[in-house]
Structure 1
Amino acid sequence: MSLQSREEIRQAVSEAVQNQPITDVHTHLYSANFGDLLLWDIDELLTYHYLVAEVMRWSDIAPEDFWKLTKQEQAEHIWQHLFLDRTPVSEAGRGVLNALKELGFDPGTKDLKSYREELAKRSTSEQIKDVLERANISNVVMTNDPFDEKERAVWESGKKAEAPFHAVLRLDPLLNDYGNTKLKLREWGYDLSDEWNDQSIKETQRFLEDWIGKMNPLYMAVSLPPTFAFPEDSDRGRIIRDCILPLGRKHNIAFAMMIGVKKQVNPALGDAGDFVGKADISAVQNLLSEFPQNKFLVTMLSRENQHELAVLARKFRNLMVFGCWWFMNNPVITNEITRMRMEMLNTSFIPQHSDARVLEQVIYKWKHTRLMLTDVLTDKYADIAETGWKIEKEAIEKDVKDLLHQNFWRFIEKDFTKL
Structure 2
Amino acid sequence: GVLTSLNKLGLETGANQLPAIRQWFREQPLESFVSQCMDLANLRAICMTNSPFDPQEKNVWDQNPTRDERFLTGLRLDPLLLDWNNAGKHLKSWGYEVDENLSDSSCQEIIRFLNDWKQKINPLYLMVSLPPTFSYPANDTTTKILKEAVIPFCRDSGLPLALMIGVKRAVNPSLQLAGDGLGRADLVALESLCAENQDVKFLCTVLSRENQQELCVIGRKFRNLHIFGCWWFTNIPSIIEEMTRLRLELLGTSFTAQHSDARVLDQVIYKWNHSRQIMIDVLTDKYTHLSQTGWPLTDQAIQRDVNNLLGAGFEEFCR
2:46–2:260 Cα contact (<8 Å) kept: no
The offset of 1:179, in angstroms, is 1.3
1:192 aligned partner, one-letter code: V
Task: State the superposition RMSD in angstroms.
Answer: 1.3
Tell me how far apart the structure 2 counterparts of residues 205 and 354 of structure 1 sit (CA, whole Å): 28
Percent of residue pairs bearing the same amino acid type = 46
Tell me how far apart the structure 1 counterparts of residues 100 and 135 of structure 2 sit (CA, whole Å): 23
2:245–2:282 Cα contact (<8 Å) kept: yes
Match of 1:223? 129
1:208 aligned partner, one-letter code: L
Match of 1:182? 88
1:289 to 195, 199, 208: 195
The offset of 1:274, in angstroms, is 1.3
State the SS of the aligned residue for 2:44: strand
The offset of 1:326, in angstroms, is 1.1
State the SS of the aligned residue for 2:262: coil
State the SS of the aligned residue for 2:204: strand
1:267 to 173, 195, 201: 173
Deviation string for 1:90-149 (max 9, x for gaps)?
Answer: xxxxx1111111112232474223323333332100101111111110111100010000
1:160–1:215 Cα contact (<8 Å) kept: no
Stretches (4+) displaced over 4 A: none
Match of 2:115? 209
Matched, 1:141 2:47: yes
Tell me how far apart the structure 2 counterparts of residues 350 and 194 of structure 1 sit (CA, whole Å): 39
Tell me how far apart the structure 2 counterparts of residues 343 and 373 of structure 1 sit (CA, whole Å): 13
The 3 A distance-change label for structure 1 pair 164 and 261 is same
State the SS of the aligned residue for 1:226: coil
Matched, 1:377 2:272: no
State the SS of the aligned residue for 1:137: coil
Normalising by structure 1, what TM-score? 0.74
The offset of 1:354, in angstroms, is 3.5
Tell me how far apart the structure 2 counterparts of residues 397 and 108 of structure 1 sit (CA, whole Å): 39
Tell me how far apart the structure 2 counterparts of residues 239 and 161 of structure 1 sit (CA, whole Å): 30
Matched, 1:355 2:265: no
Matched, 1:124 2:30: yes
Normalising by structure 2, what TM-score? 0.97
2:8–2:40 Cα contact (<8 Å) kept: yes
Match of 1:232? 138
Deviation string for 1:356-388 (max 9, x for gaps)?
Answer: 111111100100101111110000001111122
Tell me how far apart the structure 2 counterparts of residues 367 and 383 of structure 1 sit (CA, whole Å): 25
Matched, 1:324 2:230: yes
1:201–1:243 Cα contact (<8 Å) kept: yes
Match of 2:306? 400
Tell me how far apart the structure 1 counterparts of residues 260 and 98 of structure 2 sit (CA, whole Å): 37
Structure 1 unaligned residues grouped into runs of 5+: 1-94, 414-419
Higher RCO (C-alpha 8 Å, min separation 6): 1
State the SS of the aligned residue for 1:258: strand
Tell me how far apart the structure 2 counterparts of residues 221 and 293 of structure 1 sit (CA, whole Å): 17
2:74 to 168, 188, 191: 168
2:47–2:260 Cα contact (<8 Å) kept: no
Tell me how far apart the structure 2 counterparts of residues 350 and 407 of structure 1 sit (CA, whole Å): 7
Structure 2 unaligned residues grouped into runs of 5+: none
State the SS of the aligned residue for 1:143: coil
Deviation string for 1:183-223 (max 9, x for gaps)?
Answer: 12111111112322122112111111111110110000000
Tell me how far apart the structure 2 counterparts of residues 290 and 96 of structure 1 sit (CA, whole Å): 43
Deviation string for 1:76-99 (max 9, x for gaps)?
Answer: xxxxxxxxxxxxxxxxxxx11111
Match of 1:309? 215
The 3 A distance-change label for structure 1 pair 313 and 149 is same
State the SS of the aligned residue for 1:342: helix
